[in-house]
Amino acid sequence: MKVLITGSNGQVGSCLVKQLRSCPEIEFLAVDRDQLDITSEQEVIKTVNDFMPTIIINAAAHTAVDKAEDEVELSYAINCDGPKYLAEAAERVGAAILHISTDYVFAGDKEGLYSESDTVYPQGVYGESKLAGEEAVINACSRHIILRTAWVFGEDGNNFVKTMLRLAQQRDSLGIVADQFGGPTYAGDIAAALIKIAKSITGSKNTFNSDNYGIYHFSGMPHVSWCEFAQVIFDKAVEQNVLVKSPDVKGIKTEDYPTPAKRPANSKLNTQKITTVFNIPASDWQSALNHQSDYA
């Protein structure tokens, strides 16, 4: 198997690189924007034609949700045009593409869990551009997996865990949003899920059913609010001596913390489909917080 990874310096991309290094049977080429501008169709075509991958894993994205409200053209270039070019190139060389998407494609106002077949209705530029990217990938490459995830955190890049640990060093009290709910998702678990899917697709026994291409949800359990997530981070950090003490955590409403982009109130994803098809359980985000010195 030959795997092309884009966005290799991001949260998921860096985990993919680390994990694939321990897979000697897989040859991989990891590129970030300095090596490949996915918004350049010609660069994408050249890279794919030169490497001839079996699988393309697109972990590149413009994820600055608030900046996206102003950076509309850039958001669509990275989140829609880039995936389109990668998917078209994959189709030409007979490769499959695994593409990471987001809970932001939904309105976030549903009661209960969002399943893959639920109506999409993004509320901002980030979600709209990611949905456009999903559609572009689906239309361009017959062998596609769209992996929607939420609340991603990891050792690399900027994320909620790192922000909370930094603020806890500076303040005795923190107000954290308590009326938005979702499943925190460890980037390493996303990477492991993508590798398992890639192996399933390219397995030597050819047991993968082409009907199983499509959209999948993958995120963490149990579902919590941002406020609850923060409290678990602090409790575990104190246990591991990463923090001397936990700050006082106070739950606040979304309206008390206004942002340029609207956040989904409900980001809870139903992950049963990926468990049934690929035997991949939900991300165990609490276990991923057992080594918080890696995030500090």
Q: Which one from 114, 126, 213, 295 is the annotated catalytic residue?
A: 126
Class of domain 2-159+184-224+268-285: alpha beta
Contact between residue 181 and residue 267 where contact means Cβ atoms under 8 Å apart: yes
pLDDT for 287 equals: 95
DSSP conformation class of 54 = S
pLDDT mean over 187-214: 88
% of the chain residues with pLDDT over 70: 99
pLDDT for 203 equals: 72
Beta pairing partners, 100 = 147
Cα-to-chain-centroid distance, residue 63: 9
pLDDT digits (tens, 9 = 90+) for 264-281: 999 999 999 999 999 999
pLDDT mean over 219-228: 98
Confidence band for 208, pLDDT divided at 50, 70 and 90:
confident
Contact between residue 139 and residue 90 where contact means Cβ atoms under 8 Å apart: no
Beta pairing partners, 3 = 28, 55
- Report the chain's mean pLDDT, rounded to a whole number: 95
Q: Considering the entire predicted model, what is its pTM?
A: 0.96
118 vs 206: which has the higher pLDDT? 118
d(CA 141, CA 127): 21
Q: Does the structure show a pLDDT above 90 at 209?
A: no
Helix, strand, coil tally for the chain in percent (to 5) = 40, 20, 40
pLDDT for 206 equals: 61
pLDDT digits (tens, 9 = 90+) for 25-77: 999 999 999 999 999 999 999 999 999 999 999 999 999 999 999 999 999 99
pLDDT digits (tens, 9 = 90+) for 92-101: 999 999 999 9
Number of C-beta neighbours around residue 1 at 10 A: 18
pLDDT mean over 158-171: 95
pLDDT mean over 164-180: 96
d(CA 62, CA 129): 9
pLDDT mean over 101-126: 97
- For the chain, the domains span 2-159+184-224+268-285
Assess whether 126 carries a catalytic annotation: yes
Number of C-beta neighbours around residue 141 at 10 A: 24
Contact between residue 83 and residue 146 where contact means Cβ atoms under 8 Å apart: no
Determine which of 160-164, 176-180, 243-247, 291-295 has the lowest per-residue pLDDT on average: 291-295
